[in-house]
């Protein structure tokens, strides 16, 4: 018989108390409590942003999963469309349209190369069914009963068309050639969602009779059985799932006041449980996938009509912020550089409108005041390490915008060659030898980008969207600019490749006054804080394609200093209210663990 020693190369250790810092995967026996315990990574499921649809719309249908999806049909706000788009996990590509443009249709399919679209409207309630082969749509045999606002589940050879307008209980089964009427729903309804990968095991949930419904019914291939209800009654929601034992319900509309929702619920075969919400409220959205890997697309908020895509996945590491040692002098609109264990905080406002020249060094345990900046200022970009940093631009007082650049060598600040264009609230990334500064505010928002070669600044290609007070991270050939303020709070994210800026996936929460951590690449980073009253504690993590909301800061703040990377970062000072200057510091750990008791004597 295999033993723990033989399998793992060590014996289970006995302790009188739990060890202070057990390793992930470690197993031990607590003699005092008489319990066997082990430690494992703490993970969760969550939605993250994906690439936007080319055509914003609602009331469409979908097939596939987050790495290969198809979105088709819907209403654009001016017309019903036949537009079909294929998703590769990053971007949507327009492909051949439906033969009959329509919205409020049902859909089935588990890939983006084989899908079924049926029913919908206009010009009247339709029975039309179309089959997608990966290239084209072909009309096949119609539904027996034309309808719209129906639910769909299954594949191109085994599907169900469920309910629909007007408050119908009709259920039809597709065998790859024909539709056949089978057992009706117990409660007829429209604007219903469904899950299931064939026509023998399906879950139907939500919808509308004369009021929003929380009803859930399970299909076993011959009849429907009422099971436990959704926690929140709603219509115009989307669903995903492989069978009647696992499903995901997301988005939708709650009345009154016909409000779009972020609600997400997970079905385990017995009960619905509320889980992490969508990042953007939506109704009339459409989606597909399974309960562990799903995609949501489109929808509306009356207005706007949405092009958003969000991807649901499991296994996100659960990070957390912890209180760290405070800096010596509170300030906001400061700059910072370095890592979570060796950082530099410099400049800022101790009390408006006087700018500060203070510099403090962090060694992983304590903050120590070191030599001041040559020129006191706030609202500047900062980047580099704790021993080699740059402070760029900023303002010495109200309206006194600067082009100054100062270089830190570990002991002193030295003025070096100026920016070509003075500005404040700009972003920056890189090192003292190679850097990039971008955006900011002069007398209006700026899109200017300048490269630093260790001696001089050179103007290069602009940001696509002028803005200021954004978060930034990365290096001079691979940087991210995200959030900020253009004509309002912005969620825009742009990626720099050393030559040009490209718009990529938006933040989940638009805001300014946020800051970013990430020292080596544009494919991973962390942004946190920002906003105006109420100030936010939001933290979002970037994976190179999309943002995912992770654990909030304990102290909501904006105009803070930031250092570190996506897995280990500092949030330094800032303010929670206008005119405030915090001293508090928090430290981010991008992963956490859970201790599990295996048995008790």
DSSP for 150-177, please give it.
Answer: -EEEE-SSSEEEE--TTT---EEEE-SS
User: What whole-number percentage of the chain has pLDDT above 90?
Assistant: 79
Q: Are residues 454 and 376 in the same domain?
A: yes
* pLDDT tens readout for residues 270-303: 999 999 898 889 999 999 999 999 999 999 999 9
Q: Are residues 304 and 343 in the same domain?
A: no
| Alpha-carbon separation of residue 260 from 235, 305, 398 (angstroms) | 10, 11, 42
pLDDT at residue 533 in the model: 72
* pLDDT tens readout for residues 386-418: 999 999 999 999 989 999 999 999 999 999 999
Q: Which two tokens stand for residue 162?
A: 């469920």
Helix (H) or strand (E) holding 6: helix 4-8
Q: What is the mean pLDDT of residues 464-491?
A: 96
Is residue 319 a part of any domain in this protein? no
Identify which of 508, 483, 505 has the alpha carbon closest to the alpha carbon of residue 50: 505
Q: Is the pLDDT of residue 148 over 90?
A: yes
* pLDDT tens readout for residues 110-132: 999 999 999 999 988 999 999 99
Is residue 600 a part of any domain in this protein? no
Q: Where is the domain boundary, 287, 314, 341?
A: 314
Is residue 601 a part of any domain in this protein? no
pLDDT at residue 599 in the model: 58
Q: Are residues 30 and 62 in the same domain?
A: no
pLDDT at residue 44 in the model: 76
Q: Are residues 49 and 38 in the same domain?
A: no
Q: Are residues 301 and 365 in the same domain?
A: no
Query: 3-class DSSP state for residue 525?
Result: strand
Q: Are residues 126 and 272 in the same domain?
A: yes
Q: Is the pLDDT of residue 573 over 70?
A: yes
pLDDT at residue 478 in the model: 96
Q: Is the pLDDT of residue 601 over 70?
A: no
Q: Are residues 250 and 391 in the same domain?
A: no
User: What whole-number percentage of the chain has pLDDT above 70?
Assistant: 94
Q: Which residues contact 421 (CB under 8 A, 6 or more apart)?
A: 403, 442, 446, 448, 450, 459
Is residue 594 a part of any domain in this protein? no
Q: Is the pLDDT of residue 598 over 80?
A: no
Q: What is the mean pLDDT of residues 566-592?
A: 91
pLDDT at residue 369 in the model: 98
pLDDT at residue 2 in the model: 59
Instruction: Tell me what the pLDDT averaged over the chain comes to.
Output: 93
Query: 3-class DSSP state for residue 7?
Result: helix
Q: Is the pLDDT of residue 4 over 60?
A: no
Is residue 595 a part of any domain in this protein? no
Q: Where is the domain boundary, 285, 314, 343?
A: 314
Is residue 482 a part of any domain in this protein? yes
Q: How confident is the model at residue 229 (pLDDT cuts 50, 70, 90)?
A: very high
370 or 48, which is more confident: 370
How many domains, the chain? Answer: 3
Is residue 598 a part of any domain in this protein? no
pLDDT at residue 10 in the model: 56
* pLDDT tens readout for residues 28-48: 777 787 777 776 666 778 888
Q: 471 lies in which domain range? A: 327-589
Q: Are residues 419 and 356 in the same domain?
A: yes
Q: Are residues 50 and 37 in the same domain?
A: no
Q: Are residues 232 and 380 in the same domain?
A: no
Identify which of 250, 147, 252, 130 has the alpha carbon closest to the alpha carbon of residue 190: 147
Strand partners, 401: 395
Strand partners, 589: 320, 568
Phi, psi of 594 (to 5 degrees): -125, 135
* pLDDT tens readout for residues 529-542: 999 877 889 999 99
Q: What is the pTM of this model?
A: 0.69
d(CA 561, CA 509): 19
In the β-sheet with 585-589, what is the strand arrangement from edge to edge? 320-323, 585-589, 568-572, 561-564
| Alpha-carbon separation of residue 275 from 43, 125, 218, 309, 313 (angstroms) | 13, 35, 21, 18, 12
Helix (H) or strand (E) holding 4: helix 4-8
CATH code where residue 275 lies? 2.120.10.80
Q: Where is the domain boundary, 314, 344, 365?
A: 314
Q: Are residues 208 and 335 in the same domain?
A: no
Phi, psi of 8 (to 5 degrees): -110, -5
pLDDT at residue 540 in the model: 93
Q: What is the mean pLDDT of residues 11-17?
A: 78
Is residue 383 a part of any domain in this protein? yes
Q: Are residues 130 and 15 in the same domain?
A: no
pLDDT at residue 15 in the model: 79
| SS3 track for 465-507 | CCCECCEEEEECCEEEEECCECCCECCCEEEECCCCEEEECCC
């Amino acid at each position: 018989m295999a033993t723990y020693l033989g399998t793992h190369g060590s014996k289970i250790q006995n302790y009188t108390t739990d060890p202070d810092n057990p390793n992930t995967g470690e197993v031990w026996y607590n003699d005092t409590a008489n319990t066997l315990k082990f430690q494992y990574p703490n993970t969760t499921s969550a939605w993250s942003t994906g690439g936007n649809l080319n055509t914003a719309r609602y009331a469409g249908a979908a097939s596939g999963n987050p790495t290969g999806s198809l979105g088709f049909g819907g209403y654009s706000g001016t017309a019903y469309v036949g537009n079909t788009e294929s998703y590769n996990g990053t971007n949507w590509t327009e492909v051949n349209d439906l033969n009959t443009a329509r919205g409020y249709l049902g859909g089935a399919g588990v890939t983006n190369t084989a899908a079924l679209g049926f029913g919908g409207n206009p010009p009247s309630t339709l029975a039309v069914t179309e089959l997608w082969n990966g290239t084209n749509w072909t009309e096949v045999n119609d539904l027996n009963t034309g309808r719209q606002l129906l639910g769909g589940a299954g594949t191109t050879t085994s599907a169900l068309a469920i309910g629909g307008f007007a408050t119908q209980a009709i259920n039809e089964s597709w065998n790859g050639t024909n539709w056949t009427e089978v057992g009706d729903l117990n409660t007829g309804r429209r604007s219903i969602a469904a899950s299931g990968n064939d026509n023998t095991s399906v879950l139907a949930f939500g919808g509308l009779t004369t009021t929003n419904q929380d009803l859930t019914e399970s299909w076993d291939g011959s009849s429907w059985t009422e099971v436990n209800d959704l926690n929140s009654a709603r219509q115009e929601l989307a669903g995903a799932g492989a069978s009647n034992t696992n499903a995901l319900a997301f988005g939708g509309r709650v009345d009154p006041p016909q409000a779009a929702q972020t609600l997400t619920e997970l079905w385990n075969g017995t009960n619905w449980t509320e889980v992490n919400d969508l990042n953007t409220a939506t109704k009339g959205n459409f989606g597909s996938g399974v309960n562990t890997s799903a995609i949501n697309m489109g929808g509306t908020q009356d207005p706007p009509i949405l092009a958003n895509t969000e991807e649901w996945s499991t296994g996100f590491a659960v990070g957390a912020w912890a209180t760290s040692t405070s800096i010596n002098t509170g300030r906001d609109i400061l700059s910072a550089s370095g890592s979570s264990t060796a950082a530099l905080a410099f400049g800022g406002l101790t009390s408006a409108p006087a700018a500060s020249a203070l510099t403090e060094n962090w060694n992983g345990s304590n903050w120590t005041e070191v030599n001041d900046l040559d020129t006191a200022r706030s609202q500047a970009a900062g980047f580099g390490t704790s021993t080699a940093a740059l402070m760029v631009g900023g303002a010495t007082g109200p309206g006194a915008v600067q082009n100054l650049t100062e270089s830190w060598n570990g002991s002193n600040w030295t003025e070096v060659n100026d920016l070509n264009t003075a500005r404040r609230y700009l972003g920056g990334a890189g090192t003292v030898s190679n850097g990039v500064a971008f955006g900011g505010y002069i007398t209006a928002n700026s899109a200017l980008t300048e490269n630093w070669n260790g001696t001089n600044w050179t103007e290069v290609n602009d940001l696509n969207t002028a803005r200021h007070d954004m978060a930034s991270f990365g290096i001079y050939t691979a940087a991210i600019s995200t959030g900020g303020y253009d004509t309002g709070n912005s969620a825009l994210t742009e990626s720099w490749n050393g030559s040009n800026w490209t718009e990529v996936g938006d933040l989940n929460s638009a805001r300014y006054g946020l800051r970013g951590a990430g020292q080596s690449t544009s494919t991973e980073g962390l942004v946190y804080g920002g906003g105006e009253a109420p100030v936010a504690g939001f933290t979002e993590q970037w994976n190179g394609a999309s943002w995912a909301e992770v654990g909030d800061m304990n102290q909501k703040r904006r105009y803070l200093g930031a250092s570190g990377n996506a897995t280990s970062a500092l949030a330094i000072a800032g303010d929670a209210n206008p005119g405030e200057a915090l001293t508090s510091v928090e430290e981010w750990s991008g992963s956490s663990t859970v201790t599990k008791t295996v048995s008790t004597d």
